[in-house]
Amino acid sequence: MSPVAEEREQQRRDRKAVVSDAKRAHILAAARHVFEERGLDGASIREIAKQAGYTPGAIYSYFDAKEEIYGALLGESLERLNDAVAEGLGAAASDRARARHAAMRFYGFYATNPRDLDLGFYLFGGMRPHGLTPELNARLNGRLRDALKPFEDALLRLGATQDTARAEVTAFFAHCVGLLLLENTKRIRMFQEDSGRLCECYVDRVVERIGADSPDTIPNINRPQRDAINP
């Protein structure tokens, strides 16, 4: 094939790939939509296909199995999470602020997009052979950790040891997840509390504890009373 023809061929392939990717994304969007409306169990291939304007069989041109769709959905979700955490992080004026920002952004992402949390737990929980290969699993795990990295880094900068930082991040993650679940299932109302405020409280305490010896560049005038969650 002549170089010219080769290039044309390449262009054609690219064009096709672009279209194909767009359609895949479209199906994924439909899947997310269905999933948001009817939950994970209600999200059948039929329903996803219908939403996307396809027949069920057509879906299998883009995904090998239903679980692969979920895998892709989770991957996408984690990317958005990372983006959300990173956004505005550079503007933080101090390590304390960075820690708070990173943590609250993490929380905020899932507070705003509750279905992404379901997705994460469903998939991280138990997956069928297809869809979540060990490699994909590792990659997704990595992206989750990535999203918590900024918080961890800030803690380290505040003087925490590696071990302490890791433990605090883990505990924070758990706290977040718990609050979010309570929020999603409306359980938090039962306790007449606001999960966002509780999370902020928790993060502040962690930051105070870790950064006790590291004077904040901008003194934290607004939050003097930290003896109890509810002053």
Indicate whether 93 belongs to the interface with its own copies (CB under 8 A).
no
CB 187, min distance to its own copies, A:
6
Phi-psi region of 161 (alpha: psi -120 to 50; beta: other; left: phi over 0): beta
CA dist 219 and 154 (Å) reads 17
- Per the CB < 8 A criterion, the answer to whether 158 and 210 are in contact is yes
CA dist 175 and 181 (Å) reads 10
Binding segment toward DNA, per CB under 7 A, in 42-50, 140-148, 154-162, 189-197: 42-50
From residue 169 to residue 188, the character string flagging contacts with DNA as x (rule: CB under 7 A) and all else as - is --------------------
Among 81, 144, 147, 207, binds its own copies (CB under 8 A): 144
CB 72, min distance to DNA, A:
13
- Per the CB < 8 A criterion, the answer to whether 112 and 180 are in contact is no
Among 29, 92, 136, 201, binds its own copies (CB under 8 A): 201
Indicate whether 87 belongs to the interface with its own copies (CB under 8 A).
no
First to last CA, the chain: 77
- Per the CB < 8 A criterion, the answer to whether 9 and 1 are in contact is yes
CA 1 to chain centre: 46
Which residue, chain included where needed, has tokens 């880094």? 153
From the list its own copies, DNA, none, partner contacted by residue 20 (C-beta under 5 to 8 A by kind): DNA
Among 90, 125, 215, 219, binds its own copies (CB under 8 A): 125
CB 137, min distance to DNA, A:
17
Indicate whether 189 belongs to the interface with DNA (CB under 7 A).
no
Indicate whether 113 belongs to the interface with its own copies (CB under 8 A).
no
Indicate whether 8 belongs to the interface with DNA (CB under 7 A).
no
Can you give the binding site for its own copies, defined by CB under 8 A? 39, 41, 121, 124-126, 141, 144-145, 160-161, 163-164, 166-171, 173-179, 181-182, 184-188, 190-193, 195, 198, 201-202, 209-210, 212, 227-230
Can you give the binding site for DNA, defined by CB under 7 A? 16, 20, 23, 42-47, 53-58, 60-62, 64-67, 128, 130
